[in-house]
A and B are shown apart, each in its own frame.
Chain A
Amino acid sequence: MASAVLRIEDVSVKRGRLFTLEHISLSLTAGRTLAVVGESGAGKSTLIAAVLGLVRPASGTISWNNAPVHHCRPALVMQEPRAGFNPALSIRQTVMEPVVASGKPISADILEQLCGQLELPVDLLNRRPGEISIGQAQRASIIRALIAAPPLILFDEPLSALDAVTQKQTAQLIAELQKAYGFAALIVTHDLGYAAAYGDEIAVLRAGRIEEVTSPREFVSAPGTNYGCQLRDAAIELGALEQTV
């Protein structure tokens, strides 16, 4: 059987009279990672919002396995993990929300299993968001994303709120979980080192348009566009790609 696939076909999104995304076409297969990179205001977060159905495209379609994408209930991991947590609820209540929303029962030990995989002590689930560190909150938000086993997970700058050590550990963890659970990952980031290390493909977005879609190796060695070269060179100057070039 062919793998499930996310198809973004000729999607444009308008805010008022301005296009924030113009004629975007991308695809992503189950178990693979597509990293979308670009400058602030390029439309990266709008792309996430369009896939989640939070903004309606002016034209084009977004589908998962030839059905509307919301049928697969994609999950989202946000940049600032605590922003997605209700401060009045315990971590356990928040991470179980997707299960309650889907109405599908899960096995009793899946939460403990995920806590084990993410090295998050189970007793932390009884605390509130303000009582855990930001790194622990990001791991809890990954548990929430995985708990209802969605085939597609969207990551909006998942590492930018974390320190360097926690960033690398969390990136490795996401890759290991993807191998174990087989979800497709659409990662929006401006960290080119992360995109090159963990993306199967890199899409460069600028001013609402896709400039190029390329393999990480090609992106690092010979980007296909001037803007791709600018991004790659900037990453080298900032030390993000030092050992990869």
Chain B
Amino acid sequence: MTLSVSNLCVERAGCTLLHPTSLTIQPRERIGLVGESGSGKSTLGHALVDALRGQNVRVAHVPQSPDEALDPLRSMSYHWREAERALQCTPDRQRQQQLFRALQIHQGNLRKRPWGWSRGMQQRFVIAMALIGSPQLLVLDEPTSALDPVVAARTMNLLDSVLEQNQTSMFLITHDMGLAAKRVTRLLVMDAGRIAEDAPCSSLLQAPVTPAAKALTRHRTWPAPC
């Protein structure tokens, strides 16, 4: 089913953080949202999640910081049970272990509270929670920023295969153009609270039009070692 939202707008303290924005997301589509810090990427992500949940669309959201998803006073097992209840899934210990092993957090102690886990493990736990059900859309806000490269690559590969199996669409928010170039087919460039450019990933990387997209593509990769 095609997902669509129209005229999303966010204002805070008299400032417009997100100018009226409309979006259509095709089934299984991989969309990347890139832009500088403060351009409104996470704001659009939150507004999109809220609007789609209002339409009863199954949306899973992995926030940039696991602090946004985990209650410091509750154990990790409590969070897992809570997510299963919210998604109306029957407890499936085998699926849980499968996800934990794939994300390499199977040795984490579920009786501990979030602060008993490292930040990278917390992030992977939140990603695992997002994969409990079969969401129509997975919104990932800088999912690999707290992970080291080997774990980050493995996590992105796992996400790719799960999304493929479940026919889930992905909305990847990142400031890493290299990551976006590898993982998405359509790229949106955010600038000052507006979508400045929306194009297929390969053509946007080859021929960016707006100054924001040009700046991002110019700084896409590091220079070669000398």
Contacts and interface: CB of A to CB of B under 8 A. Distances in A.
Interface of A: 38-41, 133-135, 160, 162-169, 171, 190-194, 196-199, 215-217, 219-220, 230-231, 233-235, 237-244
B151 interface: yes
Interface stretch (B70-78, B94-102, B172-180): B172-180
B178 A197 contact: no
Given A197-B223, A238-B149, 7 more contacts: A133-B37, A169-B219, A196-B225, A197-B222, A199-B225, A234-B154, A239-B180
B37 A134 contact: yes
Contacts of A240: 149, 176, 178, 221-222
Contact of B156 (A41, A165, A217, A237): A237
A39 B152 CA distance: 10
Contact of A135 (B37, B120, B182): B37
14 contacts: A40-B120, A168-B219, A193-B221, A193-B222, A215-B225, A234-B154, A235-B149, A235-B153, A238-B149, A238-B156, A239-B180, A239-B221, A240-B176, A242-B221
A164 B156 contact: no
Contacts of A238: 144, 149, 152-153, 156, 176, 178-179, 182
- Interface size for chain B: under 10, 10 to 19, 20 to 34, or 35 or more residues? 35 or more
Interface of B: 34, 36-38, 118, 120, 144-145, 147-154, 156-157, 175-182, 215-216, 219-226
B181 A40 contact: no
Contacts of B181: 239, 242
A164 B182 contact: no
A164 B225 CA distance: 19
A165 B149 contact: no
A69 to B, nearest CB: 27
Nearest to B35: A163
A163 B38 CA distance: 9
A155 B8 CA distance: 41
B223 A133 contact: no
A244 B153 contact: no
A155 to B, nearest CB: 16
A135 B144 CA distance: 20
Contacts of B216: 164-165
Contacts of A233: 153
B145 A234 contact: no
A167 B225 contact: no
The 8 closest A-B pairs by CB, nearest first: A239-B178, A216-B225, A234-B153, A197-B222, A193-B222, A234-B149, A237-B153, A168-B219
Contacts of B147: 40
Contacts of A241: 221-222
A192 B152 CA distance: 13
A196 B226 CA distance: 9
Contacts of B118: 40-41
B222 A196 contact: yes
Nearest to B144: A238
B179 A244 contact: no
Contacts of A193: 178, 221-222
A202 B222 CA distance: 15
B222 A168 contact: yes
Nearest to A161: B37
A241 B147 CA distance: 17
A163 B180 CA distance: 14
B175 A164 contact: yes
Contact of A40 (B148, B153, B176, B222): B148
Contacts of A243: 221-222, 224
A230 B150 contact: yes
A244 B221 contact: yes
Contacts of A162: 37
Contacts of A135: 37
B175 A190 contact: no
A40 to B, nearest CB: 5
A119 to B, nearest CB: 16
Contacts of A217: 225-226
A239 B156 CA distance: 12
Contacts of A219: 225
